[in-house]
Chains A and B, each alone.
Chain A
Amino acid sequence: MIETGIPKLDGYLHGGIPEGNSLVYYAYPGVDGGVFGMQTIFHAVSGGRCGAYIASSTDPRMIRDQFMEFGWDMGESVFADRFTIVDAFSGLIGADSQERYVVPEPDNINSLTQCIKQVMEEMPEPGIIVFESLSTVMDLCGEKETLDAVLEWNKYAMLYDHVMVYNFTAWPYSEETLLQVKGDACNSVVSVGGISEKVIFGWYFGLLKLDWAEMIRKWVLFKILKPGGVRIYIPKILVTGPFDAGKSTVVHALSNRAVSVDRLGTTIALDHGHIDHNGFAADVFGTPGQERFDPIVKLLSGEAMGVFLVLDSANATGFARGVRMLEITESFGLPVVVIANKQDLPEALAPEEIKTRLDIPESVPILPAVAADSEGVFEAFETLVEMVMGVN
């Protein structure tokens, strides 16, 4: 198996891409699907695999810079023997190339095929071959010619147990071409799309096809971070709970950056933070806890995808108010994780004890935390993310 390194995707692929198989990242125009292929080859090469990157629309001198923008140093000496760029670009603009593998006529599919086969033969062990842009190849060489070549390359890769990965932009090609790219051309297809109204304002991915295992039909929102690459994105996680339970502390403990609208340390409007943790990105919104701010709490809760209920483990009198806040925020039905905060206080109740005193469904996890010391908050975040992904 060769893992893609894309958060959640390897799980959906049942561990990664098996040797000898192929995958296409099928991106809609205007959506940055190219980073998926880059992240996949970086993950494979940094994990000890051999990799070749077929540059069809970028000067190879710029390719390594593009990887660096994401924090992936493909120029590292340890990668020198394992990472190759196949230059299928310079020939187009009549430029010289310093690369070991150069396609002399990038607009001739036979010229490309010859070079790719040579790369496959000379790769010292089963590795991964990633196409920067199959659509550019298609534009240069023709739709049918390229699709025939893809079938040929995939067969050839099977002989050497290489994995083939294609970035493809779904420009309005013929319906037959698009169906074939999504259908028979490869063993698996990952759709990379955009949520659009007037403009594209959100991105998602999910499996369209998988022929080596049962297909998991889930769609996941993502963001692209520089550095970082593809991150699963949860646009809104609500942090609510009674007054002085430590909601702002949780938001700040979780976040790479956060702001609070408060007065004398008490949140009077909201806390907002952005989390980037373990392949996941999320925006968190903390509510005030005092009853007089309940109208704001309701406003803040709209369109949340998951909820943290923060409780002061040493103050059981606030538990009922906590449950009431879940009602105000209309959070029942959404994934909820209770953070049993202030576990370092001597009178703090254990999560099991808190569970017996809370009128909430049995399935809601209650996790211990000391947010002031950042203890337990990321475990709670990972639990909530898994629940959000499960619902999705």
Chain B
Amino acid sequence: MVYNLGISRLDELIGGIKGGTNIMMIGPPMSGKDDITNSIAYHGLIDGNATVIVSTREPGKNVLDWFESRNLNILMEHIGIVDCVTRTLGFGAPETENIKMASSPVDLTGIGVKISQFFEHFWMEVQLRETRLCINSLSTILMYSNLQTVFRFLHVFTGRIKAANALGVYVIEDGMHDEKTIVTLKQLFDGMIEIREGEDGYQMRVVGLTPKPTQWFDYEIDGVNIILRG
């Protein structure tokens, strides 16, 4: 079971990501992490994977709109979104086939239950054996819960990703957390997508999934595709 990020140059260098891998994506604000995360989810759908996105910053409907508004040739029934925002805002939106509601980013129990429900649905009912979990973002969760609590939560769910031979991508804002937080969380991941600000824009590289870190690549976001230069 091998996954691709859908970022062709990086996929060539990595040579496929084996099932059960957990990746931290860390980068500064405004560097396009939302689009990169959605792009990774989109390419999973193209590859026939199920995708579960935990949204802690955008209402689930906005995330779904990202996919729907681009007229992508994907099966929408393969997307599950855990919305941690809408009910925090006091809106009583009902759950739909694509969107399950967690009470708030504090409600790690509820978030965990909804992730598990989507995993069970895709595995048992839709019979999909390859699943991607994208949590966007851990930084919001860390605003409401302490590091130890978030570590416990991730310890359980990175383990579930391994057990299910799935792919986990976890987004974190660079510069928002102290060194100890990042170092502590790093222990849970197999690799990282690092993003930094370069001279002509933002750059990314992959660490931990290849024998040596890849070089830094300038990139641009073109619709659902991430194009590397250099």
Q: Is B68 engaged at the interface, CB distance under 8 Å to the other chain?
A: no
Contact of B164 with A199 in the complex, beta carbons under 8 Å: yes
Q: How many residues of A contact B (CB 8 A)?
A: 34
A139 engages B146 (CB within 8 Å) = yes
Q: A225 in the interface, Cβ–Cβ < 8 Å?
A: no
- Interface check A198, CB cutoff 8 A: yes
Nearest neighbor of A171 in chain B, beta-carbon distance: B152
Q: How far is the CA of A56 from the CA of B164 in the complex (A)?
A: 31
Any chain A CB within 8 A of the CB of B4? no
Residues 87-105 of chain A: 1 if any B CB is under 8 Å from the residue's CB, otherwise 0? Answer: 0010011000000000000
8 additional A-B pairs beyond A57-B103, A57-B110, beta carbons within 8 Å, are: A30-B115, A34-B113, A57-B106, A61-B92, A62-B103, A167-B109, A171-B108, A199-B160
Checking B88, B115, B124 against A59 with a beta-carbon cut-off of 8 angstroms, the contacting residue is: B88
Give A143 Cβ to nearest chain B Cβ, in Å: 9
Cross-chain contact of B92 among A31, A56, A65, A196 (Cβ < 8 A): A65
Interface string of B91-130 (1 = CB under 8 A from A): 0100000000001101111101101110110011000000
How far, in whole Å, are A133 and B153 apart by their CA atoms in the complex? 15
Measured between beta carbons, the chain A residues less than 8 angstroms from B148 are: 139
- The secondary-structure label for the interface of chain B is helix
List, sorted by A's number, 22 A–B pairs whose CB atoms are closer than 8 Å.
A29-B157, A30-B113, A30-B115, A58-B87, A59-B103, A65-B92, A66-B103, A92-B144, A93-B104, A135-B109, A136-B107, A136-B108, A139-B148, A139-B149, A140-B145, A169-B112, A171-B156, A172-B152, A196-B163, A199-B123, A199-B164, A201-B123
Contacts of B90 in A (CB 8 A): 59, 61-62
Q: Do residues B165 and A198 form an inter-chain contact, with CB atoms below 8 A?
A: yes
Q: Which residue of the partner chain B has the closest CB to A60?
A: B90
Residues of B with C-beta under 8 A to A172? 152, 155-156
In angstroms, Cα B95 to Cα A65, docked, is 12
Residue of chain B at shortest CB distance from A64: B92
B146-185 CB mask vs A (1 if < 8 Å, else 0) is 1011001101110010011100000000000000000000
Q: Is the CB of B123 within 8 A of A198?
A: yes
Residue in chain B with minimal CB distance to A194: B116
Question: Which residues in window 167-198 of A have CB below 8 A to B?
Answer: 167, 169, 171-173, 194, 196, 198
- Give the docked Cα–Cα distance between A336 and B89 (Å): 53
Complex CA–CA separation, A196 to B157 (angstroms): 13
Give the Cβ gap from A230 to chain B, nearest Cβ, in Å: 14
List chain B residues, Cβ under 8 A from A92. Answer: 106, 144
Per the bound structure, the CA–CA distance linking A140 and B153 in Å amounts to 14
- CB of A34 within 8 A of CB of B116, answer no
A residues less than 8 Å from B107 (CB atoms): 57-58, 133, 136
Contact between A57 and B109 (Cβ–Cβ < 8 Å)?
yes
Give, as a whole number of angstroms, the nearest-CB distance from B16 to chain A. 20
Smallest beta-carbon distance A54→chain B, Å: 14
Query: Given that A30-B160, A136-B106, A196-B163 are known contacts, is A93 also in contact with B116, CB under 8 Å in the complex?
Result: no
Please judge, given known A-B contacts A62-B92, A172-B152, A173-B152, whether A32 and B113 are in contact too, CB under 8 Å: yes
Q: Which B residues are in CB contact (< 8 Å) with A151?
A: none
**0/1 string, A134-163, CB within 8 A of B gives 1:** 011001100000000000000000000000
**Bound: A250/B152 CA distance, A:** 49
Q: Is the CB of B113 within 8 A of A31?
A: yes
Q: Given A57-B107, A198-B164, do A30 and B116 touch, yes or no (CB 8 Å)?
A: yes
Are B104 and A30 within 8 A (Cβ)? no
Most chain B CB inside 10 Å of its own CB: which residue of A57, A92, A135, A172: A57
Residues of B within 8 A of A59 (CB): 87-88, 90, 103-104
